[in-house]
């Protein structure tokens, strides 16, 4: 998160290329200017950074039927690969985009699926602007209804947005849902980031207060392991790497523990992103969807 702060504020980044120096500087800044650091962190959390697309991602996206739709002031880029009667919705993670699923999309095309995907607000080729989990999640609910979705695959934060969308829309019924890693407790993520970058307890509390105004609820109550108890999914599959450095596998285990209709597969040697390009994982997902 704070890597992005330094990218966007070059004056702060000057002479702070060393990670330890950055952490020390953030600690100092948290003490002398807590409101500034809180607002800066909030802006970064609500203005996702987008990585450059890989060539294979662009090639796959170019095979799709592309359309844009208006959504809460954003122009949302959507993608459709026409196939048979069976369809699936792909939900990327925070700071991701539809092309992240390019390897899976190619295999789903071969399996004769009709595939739907999108770039969330301020992600990928959708228009830019301040956004949040709630806009991301509301868009998912809208698209599930628009495209009559019964099967879903999500990656990372896409699992949070999707389960929240399903919880918020009890009439939505999903047959099969595969999660390629998923966070659980939002509070754990805040604690992890705070410790990693060195912001003070005071700044962390301020950030939580600011986020809770947006959420209209308590951070401690925002947990995927609670959402899954209230959603209509016939069958779910969670796949997570034991050594994932972005989202600890303990979070998926907690979700699995609380999800009656789920199964979980623990794997190794893929990490958080390579899991999207690992042949054995992709075959498992397609077998599950079938």
**CB atoms inside a 10 Å sphere around CB 201:** 9
Identify which has the larger pLDDT, 13 or 84: 84
Domain made up of 56-184+222-289: CATH architecture: 3-Layer(aba) Sandwich (3.40)
**How confident is the prediction for the chain on average, in pLDDT?**
88
pLDDT in tens, 133-147: 889 999 999 999 999
Identify which has the larger pLDDT, 109 or 53: 109
**Mind spelling out the 3-state secondary structure of the chain?**
CHHHHHHHCHHHHCCCCCHHHHHHHHHHHHHHCHHHHHHHHHHHHCCCCCCCCCHHHHHHHCCCEEEEEEECCEEEEEEEECCCCCEEEEECCCCCCHHHHHHHHHHHHHCCCEEEEECCCCCCCCCCCCCCHHHHHHHHHHHHHHHCCCEEEEECCHHHHHHHHHHHCCCCEEEEEEEECCCCEHHHHHHHHHHHHCCCHHHHHHHHHHHHHHHCCCHHHCEHHHHHHHCEEEEEEEEEECCCCCCCHHHHHHHHHCCCCEEEEEECCCCCCHHHHCHHHHHHHHHHHC
Give me the mean pLDDT over the 145-163 stretch.
97
Whole-number percent of the chain with pLDDT over 70: 91
pLDDT at 24: 77
pTM: 0.88
Distance of CA 86 to the CA centre of its chain: 24
Domain regions of the chain by residue span: 2-47+187-215, 56-184+222-289
pLDDT in tens, 16-48: 456 666 677 777 787 888 888 888 777 777 788
pLDDT in tens, 40-92: 777 777 788 888 889 999 999 999 999 999 999 999 999 999 999 999 999 99
Query: At 5, is the pLDDT very low, low, confident or very high (cuts 50, 70, 90)?
Result: very low
Q: Which of 150, 84, 156, 149 is nearest to 120 (CA)?
A: 156
């Amino acid at each position: 998160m704070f890597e992005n702060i330094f990218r966007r504020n070059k004056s702060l980044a000057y002479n702070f290329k060393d990670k330890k120096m950055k952490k020390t500087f953030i600690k100092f800044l948290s003490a002398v200017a807590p409101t500034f650091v809180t607002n800066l962190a909030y802006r970064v959390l609500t203005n996702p950074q987008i990585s450059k697309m890989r060539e294979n991602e662009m090639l796959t996206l170019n095979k799709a039927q592309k359309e844009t739709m208006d959504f809460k002031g954003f122009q949302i880029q959507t993608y459709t690969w026409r196939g048979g009667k069976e369809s699936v919705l792909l939900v990327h993670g925070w700071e991701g985009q539809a092309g992240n699923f390019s390897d899976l999309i190619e295999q789903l095309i071969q399996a004769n699926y009709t595939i739907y995907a999108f770039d969330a607000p301020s992600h990928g080729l959708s228009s830019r602007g301040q956004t949040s989990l709630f806009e991301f999640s509301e868009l998912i609910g809208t698209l599930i209804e628009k495209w009559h979705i019964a099967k879903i695959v999500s990656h990372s934060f896409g699992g949070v947005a999707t389960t929240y969308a399903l919880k918020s829309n009890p009439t939505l019924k999903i047959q099969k849902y595969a999660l390629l890693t998923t966070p659980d407790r939002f509070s754990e993520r805040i604690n992890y980031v705070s410790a990693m970058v060195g912001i003070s307890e005071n700044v962390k509390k301020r950030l939580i207060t600011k986020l809770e105004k947006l959420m209209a609820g308590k951070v401690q109550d925002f947990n995927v392991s609670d959402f899954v108890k209230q959603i209509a999914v016939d069958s779910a599959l969670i796949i997570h790497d034991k050594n994932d450095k972005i989202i600890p596998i303990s979070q998926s285990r907690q979700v699995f523990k609380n999800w009656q209709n789920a199964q979980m597969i623990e794997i190794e040697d893929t990490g958080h992103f390579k899991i999207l390009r690992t042949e054995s994982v992709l075959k498992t997902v397609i077998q599950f969807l079938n």
